[in-house]
Amino acid sequence: MCAKKMKRGKGKGCDARKTAVRRVVSGTFIANPAGFGFVTPSDASGKDIFIPPKDVHGALHGDSVEVEITDENHDERGPVGRIAGISERSRRFVTGSIISERMLKPLDSHFLADIKLTGSLKGAKRGDWVRVRLLDNGPKHTERLRGTVEENLGRAGEIAGDLRAVASEFQLPPPYTEADDAAAEKIRPLEIERRDLTKLVCLTIDPHDAKDFDDAVSIGKGERKGEVLLGVHISDVAAWVRAGTRFDREAFRRSFSSYLPGMFLPMLPKALTSKISLRANRDSQAHSILFTIRESDGKILKSERCHSLIHVKYRLNYDQVQAFITDPDSAPEEWKTPLRRNLARLVDITRKMRRLRAETEHFLPIETTEIRVLCDEGAKRITGIERKVQREADQIVEECMLAANSAVAEELIERKIPGIFRVHPEPDPGKLDEFSFFMEKTFRLRTGDLTDRANCCAFLENLPADHRKPVVISNFLRSLPRASYLEENALHYGLGKYRYAHFTSPIRRYPDLIVHRQLWAADTGKALKSRKFMASVASECSIREEKNDEAYFEANDRLKIHYLRMCGVENGQTATYEGVISKVSSGGLLCDITDLGIYGFVPAKFLAGGMNYNRKARKLRASRGHAEYRVGDFIYLVLDSLDMIHGRALFRPVV
């Protein structure tokens, strides 16, 4: 019967029955810059659904959508579907550069199409960054995206304009004003009973360019022989920033300090952080945790928390401490014997704490390198590039802060105080399997069963110490879920901890400040905030943290493009860069430029010999000659061109 109706042009009923049997799923659309996307179902147990470019149907990255499943189990993709409807747009504003009189190229690479501009451009012209309000384009969202200009942010390709565009795109709040600082100067702290710990020899260890100082440490003899007393002292921000006040609301709106290269946006006004910070040569109000530690193996025997008064005697930076660790005799003359003795004891006990933690908690031994652009904040001028690798000096502070955060989480749980916990879920076994397959196929590396924590740690510890290592670690990190904040305590997979909270950075992280407030209320017999309140703050802070991180990476990568331009102009010669191929496609090679910490693209047309792409082997091979390129190969490159608008660099192989 259906066949007859179709012959008469009346096949709608048959089509409807076919459509009716298709499963419809609600979820969140995740766009890929290549044009396709995935939908993560609202039901966390479901698999991600692949959306081909032709079936995206106007969905934007982050939109809540309805998906009609067109293929339940595609051989390569798994479930495949089409966007059947958009329930809710994820955003109303977008930042981009004007690429023609009426077209906008969004800064966010997740946007799969340009935006047509309507109405007044408010003086903006081609090559300017602008903030645009998206217009409704119909219930089916099938028309081209349209928007109206809200604000002109400056020229694309200029450092000041690029930074303003990044801040706008990721919704970073504006800097505090002089009026804010004047108001902050008038704030006085709340009173609470404090223990006098000013006789402890306290010191701070921070980067040389630290903006604030919210932690200090001390070390001395314990009550008994064979014990040491380790003190972790945190700025008592809860005494200064009261719940519901103007600067508390502003701190929550920001949730974190933003450390973009060339743009620092603090969570609290500078005048207030100056008063709160644990600065050298003055008494400071602190929230302290005192640990009694067995000297022989670094085991924490007990801990005690108190509100305190401390006196920071020494302000040290990581470079100074690392030099001392490498050669104690190289310490500056002004470092008196007590400082040298205490620092040597601190190095010894934190080494033992870290060794014991590795044996009992099996934290993931991941070594990462951060390449950061150095940019003068006032002049908006790049001064260099910094390669940051974690050293033992960093690990000293890390061990102390991890111990304090764990102790606080333990107390919140034991005393049933509603709090905010830092959690990191276990990775999806399927993603670990994909990573293992990739390692064996590409590098001939057998990972073993990565769901077994000991095996996972052993694999990471024994990675080859060559150009492949950064690629392996990068791919492994992509197989892990993101850490976040939660009102319920849960596993922190990366650290191997089952009770963990953030407490040690209340000047720059709002979740830490909330935990401080809860402990203050518990200590003074005041009403505690509810678990429901903690859930709402944890959710919002997790969202803000992700935006903060994305803003930093975007700004850092864009300024590296400026750095490349600066090097080319100033040196007047062609520099050679070492790269590792991280992805191969028919279009060319995506390479990890290790010295710069960026990905550069090598178009296939730059590769000699006429390249043929072998999809199964994931490699490009010359149709003439023997040249071939595969993931993990080492390659020397020279810069070909820069796109200052889109923040991209094209490279050529060294001939």
Cα gap 502→346, rounded to integer Å: 22
> DSSP per residue over 17-62, as a string?
HHHHTS-EEEEEEEE-TTS-EEEEESSTTSPPEEE-GGG-TT--TT
Mean pLDDT value of segment 346-355: 97
**CB-hemisphere CA count at 13 Å for 415?**
15
Determine the pLDDT at residue 2: 41
> What DSSP state is assigned to residue 280?
B
Question: What share of the chain has pLDDT > 70, as a percent?
Answer: 94
Per-residue pLDDT reduced to its tens digit, 75-113: 667 889 999 988 888 889 999 999 988 999 999 888 878
Confidence of residue 623 (pLDDT cuts 50, 70, 90): confident
Which of these ranges, 22-26, 252-256, 449-453, has the smallest mean pLDDT?
22-26
Mean pLDDT score, 166-183: 95
Q: Calculate the CA 452 to chain-centre distance.
A: 26
Nearest to 517 by CA among 216, 243, 171: 243
Six token digits for residue 255: 């949730």
pLDDT of residue 9: 44
- Residue 76 has what pLDDT? 67
Mean pLDDT across 198-211? 91
Say yes or no to pLDDT of 652 above 50.
Answer: yes
Q: Is residue 650 predicted with pLDDT exceeding 60?
A: yes
Whole-number pLDDT of residue 6: 38
* Cα–Cα distance for residue pair 175/158, rounded to 1 Å: 20
Give 150's contacts (C-beta < 8 A, 6+ positions apart). Answer: 93, 122, 130, 131, 132, 133
What is residue 325's predicted lDDT score, i.e. its pLDDT? 95
Of residues 146 and 594, the one with the higher pLDDT is: 146
Q: Is the pLDDT of residue 398 over 50?
A: yes
Helix or strand holding residue 439 (H, E): helix 429-443
Angle between helix 246-254 and helix 531-571 axes, rounded to 10 deg: 60
Res 648: pLDDT: 87
Domains detected in the chain: 22-88 (2.40.50.140), 93-156 (2.40.50), 194-426+481-556 (no CATH), 429-478 (no CATH), 574-653 (2.40.50.140)
pLDDT score, position 573: 62
Please give the pLDDT value at position 586.
84
CB 398 within 8 A of CB 351: no
164 or 3, which is more confident? 164
**Residue 569 confidence (pLDDT):** 53
| pLDDT over 70 (residue 17) | no
Q: In percent, how much of the chain has pLDDT > 90?
A: 66
| pLDDT value of position 323 | 94
Amino acid symbol at 378: G
- In whole angstroms, give the CA distance from residue 205 to residue 325: 13
pLDDT in tens, 459-517: 999 998 888 888 889 889 999 999 999 999 999 999 999 999 999 999 999 999 999 99
Parallel, antiparallel, or unpaired: how do β-strands 628-630 and 634-643 relate? unpaired
Q: Rounded mean pLDDT of 611-629? A: 78
Q: Residue 307: beta bridge partners?
A: 287
What is the pLDDT at residue 10?
A: 45
Are 519 and 408 a contacting pair, CB within 8 Å? Answer: yes
Question: What mean pLDDT comes out for the span 17-24?
Answer: 63
Q: Is the Cα dihedral 637, 594, 451, 41 positive or negative?
A: negative
pLDDT at res. 262: 94
> Has residue 608 got a pLDDT over 70?
yes
**pLDDT band (50, 70, 90) for residue 574:** confident
Confidence of residue 244 (pLDDT cuts 50, 70, 90): very high
Check residue 57 and give its pLDDT: 85
- Residue 572 pLDDT level (bands cut at 50, 70, 90): low
Query: pLDDT tens-digit profile of 523-532?
Result: 999 999 999 9
Averaged pLDDT score across all residues of the chain: 90
In tens, the pLDDT along 117-171 reads 999 999 999 999 999 999 876 555 556 789 999 999 999 999 999 999 999 999 9
Query: In this predicted model, what pLDDT tens digit does every residue of 30-72 receive, in sequence order?
Result: 998 778 999 999 876 678 899 999 898 888 888 999 999 998 8
Spell out the residues 6+ positions from residue 411 whose beta carbon is closer than 8 angstroms to its own: 305, 417, 519
3-state secondary structure 504-548: CCCCCEHHHHHHHHHHHHHHHCCCCCCHHHHHHHHHHHHHHHHHH
- Asked if the model's pLDDT at residue 575 lies above 90, the reply is no
